[in-house]
Amino acid sequence: MKNTSLKAIFLTLTVLLVSSVQAQQFVFPEKEQTKEQQQQDEYACHSWAVGETGFDPTAAQSQSLAAATPAPEQEKSRRGGGARSALGGAAAGALIAEIGGNDVSNGAAKGAAVGIISNRRGNRQADAQAAQQQQVQQQQAAQSQQQITEQTANYSKARGVCLEAKGYSVSE
């Protein structure tokens, strides 16, 4: 369930990221430039804006899609090991009881209980670590989204200034 919610968060962030990067400017020629001239000017202003801001929204979009797709998570939790832990604890308890000359079945029962408790503690620790890791990933994704939004705005401003200087009206 946690993995599913993490994927949903990344999917939501990806959609927001792609829509913000694809937010386009509308460019209207004011000096009767041809379509070909407008394409050349838009490309030149794109290149100039990338050089000025150090940000290329076309490259950022493909990188963000790759980064937002989470890698398959390897489960390192001790989940499902309750029977194994109980069996191991029972064997250890029986061995200790045998060495000490005590009741083996009582030692096995006590060892099994200790094994189960130990497994539960390990599961709680693994759950806490997974929750902490998920929180860190969410914070990193939010920071990355904010940074890309700011960079996109700077790029759009630079591109708009360039196009206006070349005789175009620009609106967003």
What pLDDT score was predicted for residue 122?
A: 81
Averaged over 85-110, what is the pLDDT? 73
Averaged over 86-95, what is the pLDDT? 71
Instruction: List the domain boundaries for the chain.
Output: 2-171
Neighbours of 57 (CB within 10 A): 22
* Confidence at 58, pLDDT banded by 50, 70, 90: confident
More confident residue, 18 or 112: 112
Average per-residue pLDDT for the chain: 78
The answer to whether the Cα torsion of 151, 155, 161, 164 is positive or negative is: negative
Buried b (16+ CB within 10 A) or exposed e, 124-139: eeeeeebeeebeeeee
Query: First and final CA of the chain: distance in angstroms?
Result: 40
* Confidence at 14, pLDDT banded by 50, 70, 90: very low
